[in-house]
């Protein structure tokens, strides 16, 4: 089984928990890296390994306050990689959490949902 990823959030980088043993997957906080590839490439590599033998059910939560345009491209790559889980016959769901008054993050979730084959829930948080 893959090793757990547990990255603490900073002012510019999100927290990430990818824990296949506890079946808990979340990206949260602000994402403002100068070069999104530096932060996301190791995550994409981890996900590429995970999708080869995923849990029976995977639920990835996004709880983001803000992210820049280079991050949007990396999030799209992450979603596309996760779509491969569907090919294994196992289940996956993306939960995009946003504050009730945060129209920007809600719209960004709707954009990702519109380009993805994954079951995608937009969920208001308080």
Q: How many domains does the chain have?
A: 1
Residue 126's pLDDT band, with cuts at 50, 70 and 90, is confident
Domain with residue 9: its CATH number is 3.30.750
As a whole number of angstroms, the distance between CA 73 and CA 68 comes to 9
- Enter the tokens of residue 121: 């829930």
pLDDT digits (tens, 9 = 90+) for 58-106: 999 999 999 998 899 999 999 999 999 999 999 999 999 999 999 999 9
As a whole number of angstroms, the distance between CA 118 and CA 98 comes to 18
Residue 66 confidence (pLDDT) = 94
Per the prediction, the chain carries an average pLDDT of 95
pLDDT over 80 at 4, yes or no: yes
pTM above 0.85, yes or no: yes
3 state SS of 100: coil
- In this structure, what DSSP letter does residue 74 have? H
Q: Which of 42, 36, 117, 107 is nearest to 80 (CA)?
A: 117
As a whole number of angstroms, the distance between CA 118 and CA 126 comes to 25
> Could you list the residue range(s) of the whole structural domain that residue 35 is in?
5-125
């Amino acid at each position: 089984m893959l090793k757990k990823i547990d990255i603490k959030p900073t002012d510019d980088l999100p927290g990430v928990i990818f824990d296949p043993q506890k079946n808990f997957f979340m990206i949260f906080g602000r994402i403002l890296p100068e070069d999104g590839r530096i932060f996301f490439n190791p995550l994409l590599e981890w996900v590429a390994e995970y999708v080869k033998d995923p849990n029976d059910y995977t639920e990835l939560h996004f709880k983001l306050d803000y992210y820049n345009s280079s991050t949007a491209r990396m999030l799209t790559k992450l979603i596309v990689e996760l779509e491969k889980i569907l090919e294994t016959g196992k289940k996956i769901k993306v939960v995009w959490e946003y504050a009730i008054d945060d129209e920007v993050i809600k719209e960004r979730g709707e954009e990702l949902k519109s380009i993805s084959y994954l079951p995608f829930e937009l969920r208001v948080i308080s």
